[in-house]
Amino acid sequence: MMEKLYGYAGQTLKVDLTKGKVIKEPLDRDLVKRFLGGRGLNGRLLFDLVGPDVDPMSPDNVLLIATGPVNGLLGLTTGRVDVTSLSPLTGIFGNSNAGTNFAPELKYAGYDNIVVVGRSKKPVYLLIEDDHVELRDASDLKGSGVFETTDVLKERHDDVKVAAVGRAAENGVLYGSVIFDYWDAAGRAGMGTVMASKNLKAIGVSGTGSIEVADPDRYYEVARDGWLALMNDFGFKTQEHSVLGTAVCVGWGNAQGWLPTRNFRESYFEDADKISGEEFRDRFSVKESPIPAGRACMSCPNRCKRYGVIRTGKYAGTRGNIEFEAIGAFGSKCGVGDFDAVFHANMIANDYGMDAVSCGNMIATFMEWREEGIIDDEFLDGLDLRFGNADAMVEAIHKIANREGKIGELGGLGSYLAAKAISEKAMYYTSNVKGMDSISCDPRAAKGFGFAYAVASRGSDHLRAHPVFEMIKLPPEIGKDLFGDPEAVDLRKYGGKPEMVAWHEELGAITDSIGSCRFMHASYYTQYPVPELIHKYFKLKGEVHSLKYHEWISAVTGWNISYEELLRIGKRIINVERAFNIRRGIRRKDDTLPERFFKDKVPRGPAKGEIYTRDTFNKMIDRYYEIRGWDPETGLIKRETLEDLELHDVLKILEKEGLVV
Amino acid sequence: MKKLVFNPDLCTGCRACELACSFINEGVFSPTKARIRVVKFDRDGIDVPTGCEHCEDAPCMIVCPVRSIYRDEDTQAVILDPDICIGCKRCMIACPFGAIGFDEDKKVFFKCDLCRGDPECVKWCFTRAVSYSTSLDVDTIKKVKIARKEAAAQARARDLR
């Protein structure tokens, strides 16, 4: 008899939409031992299933949804789900992650992951009720919004957990999102667009099963220690993040001078206090503050989801969850200080099923293009799309989702492909790396974050590394201990940043692969060995508590993974994503930042005068490649790196295509 | 006497209580085996924790034909003894809160027993939406809260005079 796979449900669900068939297979235990689950598992499957010639919108592309070994367990956040595919927005590795109840429910139903291939002739949705799995007709739901679709499925199938796509994705907007239970978006990289291209409107899941862990006594201790690490965290103790959610970053980012404003012209927004976390709490929150004021993903004491309702005015009745990135995208980037409009914009983007970050960025880019005379009123279909015009911004969202006029046609492509269709000059004003729009943090003002954008596997993005380390006031000794340079704790300095980004990327890959949340490892530094170092350098008394992923995973699975082995798994995950991108043509030249960050200084605010120095940046890339074991000339992965990580089959494929150094 | 008190106003919907409950009582993670349940209304942003209220006049105890449900003297918890239970499910039907569950694997009914006076769910509820308090505590907190509002209003009114 085969050894029991603790922590996992044990089955993969394969859905072939072309044939209309669903197959259940045992979970590949060798694969999860090497890649854990979630993003790691999906990345590896994507590499195997999608070759370099596949078109993202073709039936040959696959949609991968995966949970990890801690999803659905008691512990420091266990609700995150990973969605991976070849991105239609960027043409490279694409994935997105959401905090849900969906992932645990899928495991209780008996499945660790879903592999969707092919394309259905007519719209369908996938219904999973424990052992019973079927594809159902969704013709009546075609074109309907995410909220309505979710309502219908919940009504029809007794409160199932729902993942749905909206009209924007169906209309071919390249940054369509998959939205879980109304508000939780796997927003980035167009995962919803891929799902819609397969004619898969939604997935509903309910499960009644159980998940067992290998060592329950040890598990309880490890989980409790992680929990107490959060309770003792400085940041958590202030309750700022809990009470204000990610929107705490509006005030914080503005004070530190990295809040992108009027596209990326500036990094300080004069109206930030009108769109702040405090303002949301006081104006829209329906629950009493300060506790709890928020809603939580599965098993999370941080509860950072902001739920609110607009009570008066023309957007009265709009309700839902908002996050910092959406506020940055529709707020400061568009120069809009009208919170009703920003909140409303985010909610209609959710209902249309579009990534709020890419959508807001696209509109902000249109605004700057107009000011720079790159596009005219005819292009804008009569919209007075200037910075600060909230009504025009909201109108632009409708036009993009419905692909109306030139603005809708190009707006649905994202700023990179839209700029490509317009002019070289237009490209200068986009904030993309590898075709992906940047989030709300100015690279010039936050050197580590900026560097992370350049090397992120899904294009400009903070959620590969998420090096909040440089934003919080930690003793320089910790920077020295962890990253070899005390400057690592300094937002404006370059020292130790490649090391810092690499470490965060590796642990972050683990977080995304086990099904936990990035905030516990970066934002809060509950993650071993940071609490230990804080304890040492702040000379704290009493016991140190920390969240030790290696012990957590070991207690769940019984595999006994060390901290070093954990980082190795992280490296393996990152290298598979790199290998996928290499096959898609990604090289050193693509690991860069948008030109403007090397050329234009931040004009005002706390980061006034800051710029990204190109020479320094190039040296950082050299250093990063050295850490990663990649070739400094080309950016290809070195043979010995793949051998060290036991990625022999990946090596074989790259070798055949002449893509190894 | 302490009671398990559920407060939807403080609940964030994290469901740690469900997981802690099923783990301590059954050794596995499974909301369907938990004695406590958070019902989520995502569209409205409301989460409601529910479970056994250990009623003073407990309908489950009254309808049980074999007296498998009794009140514990130490904790005052309403307890179901699966060894006596004949599996007739009358308690399940009589309970107004849906607090009696059926374990499909073990084929027995189960309910909250307050973890013998040390409820695990409470240890994981950071916002105290689930608390183990005396009714006096609950009363007093509410009285003080409303009084504080009243006092603030009075003070403002006095300042205007």
- Name every residue in A having a CB less than 8 A away from some CB of B: 72-74, 101, 108, 147, 150-151, 181-183, 208-213, 216, 220, 227, 231, 286-288, 291-292, 294-301, 303, 307-309, 319-321
The secondary element (H helix, E strand) that includes residue A560 is none
In whole angstroms, give the CA distance from residue A441 to residue A493: 16
For residue B85, what are the domain limits? 56-110
pLDDT at A183: 94
Closest-CA distance of chain A to residue B19, Å: 5
Mutate which of A295, A318, A351 to disrupt the B interface (most B C-beta within 10 Å)?
A: A295
pLDDT at A291: 55
B116 within domain boundaries: no
pLDDT at B66: 96
- When CB atoms are compared, the residue of B19, B105, B129 closest to A73 is B19
The closest of A400, A375, A363 to A193, measured between CA atoms, is A400
- For A306, nearest residue in chain B (alpha carbons): B45
- Specify the number of domains making up chain B: 1
Phi, psi of A164 (to 5 degrees): -140, 155
Summarize chain A as % helix, strand, coil (round to 5).
45, 15, 40
Q: Is A182 in contact with B47 (Cβ distance < 8 A)?
A: no
Evaluate if residue B159 carries a pLDDT over 90.
Answer: no
pLDDT at A188: 96
Cβ neighbour number for residue A533 with a 10 Å cutoff: 20
Q: Is B42 in contact with A288 (Cβ distance < 8 A)?
A: no
pLDDT at A369: 98
Please state the rounded mean pLDDT for residues A375-401: 96
Q: Is A212 in contact with B27 (Cβ distance < 8 A)?
A: yes
B70 within domain boundaries: yes
Tokens representing residue A212 in the block = 């067992």
Strands A319-322 and A305-309 come out as antiparallel
- When CB atoms are compared, the residue of B15, B30, B124 closest to A209 is B30
* High-pLDDT (> 90) share of chain B, %: 73
* Domain ranges for chain A: 11-206, 241-428, 447-527+562-656
Cβ atoms A258, A449 nearer than 8 A: yes
Evaluate if residue A2 carries a pLDDT over 70.
Answer: no
Please state the rounded mean pLDDT for residues A203-217: 97
B-chain CB neighbours of A147 within 8 Å are 43
Evaluate if residue A289 carries a pLDDT over 60.
Answer: no
Evaluate if residue A354 carries a pLDDT over 60.
Answer: yes
Cis before A292? omega within 30: yes
- When CB atoms are compared, the residue of A182, A216, A291 closest to B43 is A182
Phi, psi of B142 (to 5 degrees): -65, -45
Residue type at position A89: L
pLDDT at B101: 95
pLDDT at B136: 73
- Residue B25 burial by Cβ neighbours in a 10 Å radius (0-12, 13-18, 19+): middle
Domains A241-428 and A447-527+562-656 share a fold: no
In whole angstroms, give the CA distance from residue B20 to residue B23: 5
Q: Is A211 in contact with B29 (Cβ distance < 8 A)?
A: yes
Please state the rounded mean pLDDT for residues A272-290: 86
Phi, psi of B40 (to 5 degrees): -100, 135
- The answer to whether domain A241-428 has CATH 3.40.50.720 is no
- When CB atoms are compared, the residue of A231, A291, A309 closest to B127 is A291
In whole angstroms, give the CA distance from residue A40 to residue A37: 6
pLDDT at A239: 79
- When CB atoms are compared, the residue of B19, B33, B42 closest to A181 is B42
Please state the rounded mean pLDDT for residues B135-148: 82
The closest of A243, A76, A294 to B10, measured between CA atoms, is A294
Look at residue B36 and give its three-state secondary structure: coil
Half-sphere exposure of A112 (CA within 13 A, CB side): 29
CA distances from B144 to B137, B139, B148, B151 (A): 11, 9, 6, 10
Question: Which CATH number applies to A11-206: 3.60.9.10, 3.30.70.260, 1.10.287.4070, 3.30.479.30?
Answer: 3.60.9.10
Q: Where are the alpha helices (DSSP H) in B75-118?
A: 90-94
Residue type at position B44: D
- When CB atoms are compared, the residue of A300, A319, A321 closest to B14 is A300
* High-pLDDT (> 70) share of chain B, %: 100
DSSP strand E in A532-658: where? Answer: none
- For B47, nearest residue in chain A (alpha carbons): A295
Query: What letter would DSSP give residue A275?
Result: G
Q: For residue range A464-480, what is the model confidence (pLDDT) as tens digits?
A: 999 999 999 899 999 99
Question: In the A/B pair of chains, how many CB contacts fall below 8 A?
Answer: 91
Q: Is B124 in contact with A150 (Cβ distance < 8 A)?
A: no
pLDDT at A385: 96
B41 within domain boundaries: no
The secondary element (H helix, E strand) that includes residue A282 is helix A277-283
- When CB atoms are compared, the residue of B19, B30, B45 closest to A299 is B19
pLDDT band at A523 (very low <50, low <70, confident <90, very high): confident
pLDDT at B123: 95
pLDDT at A1: 53
B-chain CB neighbours of A220 within 8 Å are 23
Of A223-237, A274-288, A383-397, B144-158, which one has max mean pLDDT? A383-397
The CATH number of residue B101's host domain is: 3.30.70.20
B33-52 residues touching A, CB cutoff 8 A: 33, 40, 42-45, 47
In whole angstroms, give the CA distance from residue A225 to residue A75: 9
B95 within domain boundaries: yes
Q: Is A301 in contact with B14 (Cβ distance < 8 A)?
A: yes
In whole angstroms, give the CA distance from residue B33 to residue A39: 29
pLDDT at A512: 97
Cβ atoms A499, A484 nearer than 8 A: yes
B98 within domain boundaries: yes
* High-pLDDT (> 70) share of chain A, %: 99
pLDDT at B151: 92
Cβ atoms B45, B53 nearer than 8 A: no
Q: For residue range A538-597, what is the model confidence (pLDDT) as tens digits?
A: 999 999 999 999 999 999 999 999 999 999 999 999 999 999 999 999 999 999 999 999
Question: Which CATH number applies to A447-527+562-656: 1.10.599.10, 2.60.40.10, 3.30.300.130, 3.30.450.40?
Answer: 1.10.599.10
pLDDT at A15: 98
Evaluate if residue A312 carries a pLDDT over 60.
Answer: yes
> Considering Cα of A188, then A191, then A197, then A202, what sign does the dihedral take?
negative
B99 within domain boundaries: yes
- Average pLDDT of chain A, as a whole number: 95
| Partner A contacted by B131 (CB < 8 A) | no
